[in-house]
Chain A
Amino acid sequence: RKEVEQDPGPFNVPEGATVAFNCTYSNSASQSFFWYRQDCRKEPKLLMSVYSSGNEDGRFTAQLNRASQYISLLIRDSKLSDSATYLCVVNRRGRDDKIIFGKGTRLHILP
């Protein structure tokens, strides 16, 4: 089992719809969590950090469930510009193998 797993998609969603995807992690020593967005042939950019209490940034909501070891991302009122790959990132304690990216979930917003 991979340490960080994401459904690769693609998720094909009509504009204006709500979409959600999860990311599961296997190491309970995981310490901090992030969602990054990566456009085709570009570098990843931080979308949002994920806090235990859950957090919202405009149309985006992130949740962390430590008991079940997953994080989620919800996008409301999706826009064409939301089309991208969404990468889940888990940082864990320790010196080595401490920053783990998921493979990413591809999202296509359809007009």
Chain B
Amino acid sequence: ETGVTQSPTHLIKTRGQQVTLRCSSQSGHNTVSWYQQALGQGPQFIFQYYREEENGRGNFPPRFSGLQFPNYSSELNVNALELDDSALYLCASTSSPVSTDTQYFGPGTRLTVL
């Protein structure tokens, strides 16, 4: 086990609603990255947080936002949900934002938007 936890495990929402997903990073890790993985696709980078600040973003609209807390846990918020937001949302923690560091993934939250 990586020590990275995510909640909830599964979630069902309807179009237009808002959702908050949570991630606890591995002990000693200060960097969290969030990914969206649609069925049959590889994970797509949403954004990264390092020491409570956004430290890079992928090609996702502003309705995808995040937070990182002093204990380095993190939240992903998605507003105005769309059907295409249905996916597995993964978070990964690393000991630093250095690109060579190994990412440790949590088990993911499976979001279904109806």
A residues in contact (CB < 8 Å) with B? 4, 31-32, 34, 42-46, 49, 87, 91-104
Per a CB cutoff under 8 Å, which of A43, A94, A97 touches B108?
A43
* 6 interchain pairs, CB-CB under 8 A: A34-B102, A96-B56, A99-B99, A99-B103, A101-B45, A102-B42
Complex: how many Å from CA A43 to CA B100? Answer: 20
Interface residue count for B (Cβ, 8 Å)? 25
Task: Report how far A59 CA is from B105 CA in the complex, Å.
Answer: 24
Chain B residues 13-70 with CB under 8 Å of chain A are 33, 35, 40-45, 48, 55-59
The reply to whether B107 and A95 contact each other, CB–CB distance below 8 Å, is: no
Alpha-carbon distance A95/B48, docked complex (angstroms): 9
CB contacts under 8 Å to A, within B59-112, are: 59, 90, 99-100, 102-108
